[in-house]
């Protein structure tokens, strides 16, 4: 069985690079943003992080229909599993009983019970984590759309990194909209939210 994506006319990178020859007004931005959010919500509801959202990976047609492409860096993500939740619950219940102990003997007994339960659940948690999908890497996302948690090399990032990338793309759309593109000194190569020192000029398409 083969799935074929219909041909799209362009992508956001070509669109932004063609401004001011191509005009982008507020209604275009609202429509494109809504469609981008719908597409991203579909991915996240399926527990998939794209991890490389950028203008070149958003396809668009003349009706502002949007599709996400290039899933080479995508990865499935998991929320807290049963072992994590069990560990938190046991720790809370047992600890509350421990601090309410009135005698040394009772405190020692409850502490032993707490330690035993914690050890048991830590072993279970370790087994659960072994079955998880391989560790996430920090070498993801194109520089100008890279979330702060990835920049500081935090491997515990989640689907929020895609939202950050989408926000950067939205900033570019706004920077290339009519109120700005109609100015005499407009330069669409200066549209990046976080360009960095090595941002190279992009020739208009």
Which DSSP string do the residues of 121-138 spell out, in sequence order?
A: HHHHHHHHHHTSPPPPPS
71 & 145 share domain: yes
96 & 119 share domain: yes
Closest CA to 171 of 199, 187, 191: 191
- Among 27-31, 103-107, 159-163, the minimum mean pLDDT is found in 103-107
Structural Rg of the chain based on CA atoms: 24
Predicted confidence at residue 201, as pLDDT, reads 46
133 HSE (CA, 13 A, CB side): 11
Residue 42 placed within a domain: yes
Residue 84 has pLDDT above 80, yes or no: no
Mean pLDDT taken over the chain: 78
Task: Tell me the CATH number at 15.
Answer: 1.10.510.10
**Whole-angstrom Cα distance, residue 186 to residue 18?**
12
92 & 46 share domain: no
Predicted confidence at residue 37, as pLDDT, reads 95
162 & 120 share domain: no
| Residue 117, burial from CB neighbour count under 10 angstroms (0-12, 13-18, 19+) | middle
pLDDT: is 15 or 194 the higher one? 15
Residue 195 placed within a domain: no
Sheet with 10-11: list strands edge to edge: 10-11, 58-60, 66-68
Residue 63 placed within a domain: yes
Number of domains into which the chain is organized: 2
Give the structural domain span for 42.
10-78+140-190
Residue 89 placed within a domain: yes
**Whole-angstrom Cα distance, residue 53 to residue 74?**
10
Residue 43 placed within a domain: yes
| Residues in the chain, overall count | 205
74 & 90 share domain: no
61 & 18 share domain: yes
Residue 135 placed within a domain: no
46 & 88 share domain: no
Residue 61 placed within a domain: yes
- Indicate which residue of 11, 25, 52, 135 is catalytic: 52
**Whole-angstrom Cα distance, residue 94 to residue 186?**
64
46 & 87 share domain: no
Residue 32 placed within a domain: yes
Contact present, 163 and 40 (Cβ < 8 Å): yes
Q: What is the pLDDT of residues 129-156, one digit of tens each?
A: 555 545 555 556 677 888 888 878 767 7
pLDDT: is 20 or 5 the higher one? 20
99 & 29 share domain: no
61 & 156 share domain: yes
At 200, list the tokens. 């190279």
Question: In the annotation, is 11 catalytic?
Answer: no
Predicted confidence at residue 199, as pLDDT, reads 46
């Amino acid at each position: 069985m083969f799935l074929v994506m219909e041909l799209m006319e362009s992508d956001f990178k070509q669109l932004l690079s063609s401004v001011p020859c191509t005009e982008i007004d507020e209604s275009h931005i609202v429509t494109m943003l809504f469609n981008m959010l719908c597409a991203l919500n579909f991915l996240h509801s399926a527990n998939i992080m794209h991890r490389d959202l950028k203008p070149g990976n958003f396809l668009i047609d003349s009706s502002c229909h949007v599709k996400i492409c290039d899933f080479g860096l995508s990865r499935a993500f998991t929320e807290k599993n049963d072992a994590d939740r069990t560990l938190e619950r046991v720790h809370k219940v047992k600890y509350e009983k421990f601090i309410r102990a009135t005698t040394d003997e009772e405190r020692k007994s409850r502490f032993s019970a707490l330690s035993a339960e914690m050890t048991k659940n830590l072993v279970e948690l370790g087994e659960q984590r072994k079955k998880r999908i391989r560790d996430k890497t920090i070498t993801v996302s194109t520089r100008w759309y890279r979330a702060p948690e990835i920049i500081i090399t935090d491997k515990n990032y989640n689907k929020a990194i895609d939202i950050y990338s989408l926000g950067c793309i939205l900033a570019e759309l706004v920077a290339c909209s009519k109120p700005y593109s109609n100015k005499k000194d407009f330069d669409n190569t200066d549209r990046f939210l976080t360009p960095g020192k090595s941002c190279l000029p992009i020739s208009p398409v």
